[in-house]
Chains A and B, each alone.
Chain A
Amino acid sequence: MASSAVKLANPNAEVLRRGDALAMNIQSARGLQNVLRSNLSPRGTLKLLVDGANQLTLTKDGKVLLNQMQITNPVAVMIARAATAQDDVAGDGTTGLVLLVGELLKQASVYIEEGVHPRVITDGFDAAKREALAFLDGFRRQMPMDREVLCSVARTALRTKLQAELADQMTEAVVDAVLAIRPAEGPIDLFMVEIMKMQHRTATDSRLVRGLVMDHGARHPDMPKRLTNCFVLTLNVSLEYEKTEINSSFFYSSAEQRDKLIASERRFVDEKLRKIVDLKNTVCSGADKDCGFVLINQKGIDPLSLDILAKHGIFALRRAKRRNMERLQLCCGGVAQNSVDDLGPQVLGRAGLVHEHVLGENKYTYVEECQVPKSVTILIKGPSTHVLQQIQDAVRDGLRAVKNAVEDGSLVPGAGAFQVAARQHLLRPEFLRTVRGKAQMGIKAFAEALLVIPKTIATNGGYDPMDVLVALEDEVQDGHVAGIDLNTGDVLDPAQEGIWDNYRVLRQQLHSCAVIATNLLHVDEVMRAGRASIKAPNPGEE
Chain B
Amino acid sequence: MKEVITLQFGEQANYVGAHYWNLMHAAAADAAAGGAHPQDALAMDTLFCTDSRQTYAPRVLTFDQPGSHTQPDPVSGEVEESDAQWNGRDVEVHRQAQRTAKQPPSSGSGSGEGEGAFRSWTDVVERRYPAQSFAAVSGVDFGNSLGQLSTFSEGRSVFEGMDARDDLLEGAFRRYAEACDRIQGFQTIADASGGFAGFGLAFLERLREEYPKSPLVLYNARAEEGRGLSGLGLAARVDVAVALAAALEAGVSMSVPLFAPQSVATGGGSGGVYRGSAFLAANVAQWGWGVVAGGVGLDELVDRATGQGLFRVAETLLAPGLDASGSTGLAELLGSGGGGGGSFTACSEAKIESLEMLAGRLFVDRGTDVGRLVRQTMPPAAAVRFEAPVPLPRTFPPIFAQHVIPKRIGGVDCVGVAGLLCSTSGSMGYLQTLHGSLAAEHSKYLKDYEREAVREFRYSLDTAIDRYSMIG
**A52 near B150 (CB under 8 angstroms)?**
no
**B71 near A534 (CB under 8 angstroms)?**
no
The contact sample of 7 A-B pairs, CB cut-off 8 A, is A51-B67, A52-B71, A71-B147, A216-B174, A242-B213, A319-B177, A321-B167
Q: Let me know if B77 is at the binding interface, CB within 8 A.
A: no
User: Other CB < 8 Å A-B pairs besides A51-B69, A80-B140, A81-B140, 20 of them?
Assistant: A51-B136, A67-B138, A67-B141, A70-B66, A74-B146, A77-B140, A77-B146, A84-B140, A84-B141, A319-B178, A532-B233, A534-B233, A534-B235, A534-B236, A535-B194, A539-B118, A539-B274, A540-B116, A540-B119, A542-B116
Distance between A459 CB and nearest chain B CB, rounded to angstroms: 28
B177 cross-chain contacts in A, Cβ below 8 A: 319
Complex: how many Å from CA A323 to CA B163?
Answer: 13
| Contact mask for chain A residues 174-212; partner B; CB cutoff 8 A; 1 contact, 0 none | 000000000000000000000000000000000000000
**A535 near B150 (CB under 8 angstroms)?**
yes
Complex: how many Å from CA A52 to CA B170?
Answer: 24
B181 cross-chain contacts in A, Cβ below 8 A: 303
Distance between B58 CB and nearest chain A CB, rounded to angstroms: 16
Instruction: From the candidates A54, A319, A535, name the one contacting B148 in the complex (CB within 8 A).
Output: A535
| Contact mask for chain B residues 137-165; partner A; CB cutoff 8 A; 1 contact, 0 none | 01011000011111100000000000000
Q: Let me know if B270 is at the binding interface, CB within 8 A.
A: yes
Complex: how many Å from CA A77 to CA B151?
Answer: 18
Q: Which of A238-288 contact B (CB under 8 A)?
A: 242-243, 245
Complex: how many Å from CA A370 to CA B152?
Answer: 47
Distance between B142 CB and nearest chain A CB, rounded to angstroms: 9
**A66 near B140 (CB under 8 angstroms)?**
yes
**A536 near B71 (CB under 8 angstroms)?**
no
Q: Let me know if B115 is at the binding interface, CB within 8 A.
A: yes
B115 cross-chain contacts in A, Cβ below 8 A: 539
Of chain B, the residue at the smallest CB distance from A538 is B11
A66 cross-chain contacts in B, Cβ below 8 A: 140
**A67 near B146 (CB under 8 angstroms)?**
no
Distance between B443 CB and nearest chain A CB, rounded to angstroms: 13
B122 cross-chain contacts in A, Cβ below 8 A: 52-53
Complex: how many Å from CA A532 to CA B224?
Answer: 18
**B118 near A534 (CB under 8 angstroms)?**
no
Q: Let me know if A342 is at the binding interface, CB within 8 A.
A: no
Q: Which of A520-542 contact B (CB under 8 A)?
A: 531-536, 538-540, 542
Complex: how many Å from CA A540 to CA B146?
Answer: 21
Distance between A338 CB and nearest chain B CB, rounded to angstroms: 16
**A539 near B116 (CB under 8 angstroms)?**
yes
Complex: how many Å from CA A52 to CA B270?
Answer: 27
**Which positions in B face A, CB cutoff 8 Å?**
11, 52, 66-71, 115-116, 118-120, 122, 134, 136, 138, 140-141, 146-151, 167, 170, 174, 177-178, 181, 193-195, 213, 224, 227, 233, 235-236, 239, 270, 272-274, 444-445
B116 cross-chain contacts in A, Cβ below 8 A: 539-540, 542
Q: Let me know if A322 is at the binding interface, CB within 8 A.
A: yes
**A245 near B71 (CB under 8 angstroms)?**
no
Which 10 A/B pairs are nearest by Cβ-Cβ distance? Answer: A52-B69, A535-B150, A53-B69, A539-B272, A539-B273, A534-B235, A70-B67, A534-B236, A52-B70, A534-B150
Q: Let me know if A346 is at the binding interface, CB within 8 A.
A: no
**A532 near B69 (CB under 8 angstroms)?**
no
Of chain A, the residue at the smallest CB distance from B272 is A539
**A243 near B146 (CB under 8 angstroms)?**
no
Q: Let me know if A10 is at the binding interface, CB within 8 A.
A: no
Distance between A76 CB and nearest chain B CB, rounded to angstroms: 10
Of chain A, the residue at the smallest CB distance from B70 is A52
Instruction: From the candidates A71, A84, A536, A540, name the one contacting B118 in the complex (CB within 8 A).
Output: A540
**A53 near B52 (CB under 8 angstroms)?**
no
Complex: how many Å from CA A51 to CA B65?
Answer: 11
Of chain B, the residue at the smallest CB distance from A72 is B146
Complex: how many Å from CA A452 to CA B177?
Answer: 51
**How large, as a class, is the contact surface on chain A?**
35 or more
**B270 near A534 (CB under 8 angstroms)?**
no
Complex: how many Å from CA A72 to CA B148?
Answer: 8
Distance between A381 CB and nearest chain B CB, rounded to angstroms: 19
Q: Which residue, of A52, A243, A323, has the highest number of chain B Cβ atoms within 10 A?
A: A52
A68 cross-chain contacts in B, Cβ below 8 A: 66, 138
> If A531-B235, A532-B233 touch, does A52 touch B120 (CB 8 Å cutoff)?
yes
Of chain A, the residue at the smallest CB distance from B270 is A542
Of chain A, the residue at the smallest CB distance from B142 is A84
Q: Let me know if A361 is at the binding interface, CB within 8 A.
A: yes
Complex: how many Å from CA A536 to CA B240?
Answer: 13
**Which positions in A face B, CB cutoff 8 Å?**
51-54, 66-68, 70-72, 74, 77, 80-81, 84, 216, 219, 242-243, 245, 303, 319, 321-323, 361, 531-536, 538-540, 542
> If A66-B140, A70-B67, A319-B174 touch, does A542 touch B272 (CB 8 Å cutoff)?
yes
Complex: how many Å from CA A74 to CA B145?
Answer: 9
Distance between B296 CB and nearest chain A CB, rounded to angstroms: 18
Complex: how many Å from CA A53 to CA B128?
Answer: 12
Of chain A, the residue at the smallest CB distance from B10 is A535
Of chain B, the residue at the smallest CB distance from A63 is B141
Complex: how many Å from CA A531 to CA B150?
Answer: 12
**B52 near A361 (CB under 8 angstroms)?**
yes
Distance between A64 CB and nearest chain B CB, rounded to angstroms: 11
Distance between B132 CB and nearest chain A CB, rounded to angstroms: 11
Of chain B, the residue at the smallest CB distance from A242 is B213
**B147 near A77 (CB under 8 angstroms)?**
yes
Of chain B, the residue at the smallest CB distance from A247 is B308
A533 cross-chain contacts in B, Cβ below 8 A: 150
Complex: how many Å from CA A177 to CA B318?
Answer: 61
A303 cross-chain contacts in B, Cβ below 8 A: 181
B70 cross-chain contacts in A, Cβ below 8 A: 52
> If A68-B66, A531-B445, A532-B233 touch, does A53 touch B134 (CB 8 Å cutoff)?
yes
Complex: how many Å from CA A442 to CA B31?
Answer: 76
Complex: how many Å from CA A219 to CA B178?
Answer: 9
B138 cross-chain contacts in A, Cβ below 8 A: 67-68
Distance between B448 CB and nearest chain A CB, rounded to angstroms: 11
Complex: how many Å from CA A114 to CA B425?
Answer: 72
Distance between B393 CB and nearest chain A CB, rounded to angstroms: 21
**B167 near A52 (CB under 8 angstroms)?**
no
Distance between A532 CB and nearest chain B CB, rounded to angstroms: 6
**B141 near A52 (CB under 8 angstroms)?**
no
Of chain A, the residue at the smallest CB distance from B68 is A52
B224 cross-chain contacts in A, Cβ below 8 A: 536
Distance between A102 CB and nearest chain B CB, rounded to angstroms: 19
Distance between B63 CB and nearest chain A CB, rounded to angstroms: 13
Distance between A86 CB and nearest chain B CB, rounded to angstroms: 13
**A67 near B167 (CB under 8 angstroms)?**
no
B69 cross-chain contacts in A, Cβ below 8 A: 51-53
B170 cross-chain contacts in A, Cβ below 8 A: 321
Complex: how many Å from CA A53 to CA B69?
Answer: 6
B147 cross-chain contacts in A, Cβ below 8 A: 71, 77
A542 cross-chain contacts in B, Cβ below 8 A: 116, 270, 272
Complex: how many Å from CA A243 to CA B239?
Answer: 35
B134 cross-chain contacts in A, Cβ below 8 A: 53
B444 cross-chain contacts in A, Cβ below 8 A: 531
Of chain B, the residue at the smallest CB distance from A55 is B134
Distance between B171 CB and nearest chain A CB, rounded to angstroms: 10
Of chain A, the residue at the smallest CB distance from B148 is A535
Complex: how many Å from CA A468 to CA B378?
Answer: 91
A53 cross-chain contacts in B, Cβ below 8 A: 69, 71, 122, 134
Complex: how many Å from CA A227 to CA B453?
Answer: 53
B235 cross-chain contacts in A, Cβ below 8 A: 531-532, 534
Complex: how many Å from CA A53 to CA B149?
Answer: 20
Complex: how many Å from CA A514 to CA B444?
Answer: 35
Of chain A, the residue at the smallest CB distance from B52 is A361
Distance between B253 CB and nearest chain A CB, rounded to angstroms: 14
Complex: how many Å from CA A54 to CA B147?
Answer: 23
B52 cross-chain contacts in A, Cβ below 8 A: 361
A536 cross-chain contacts in B, Cβ below 8 A: 224, 227
Distance between A61 CB and nearest chain B CB, rounded to angstroms: 14
B239 cross-chain contacts in A, Cβ below 8 A: 534
Distance between A331 CB and nearest chain B CB, rounded to angstroms: 19
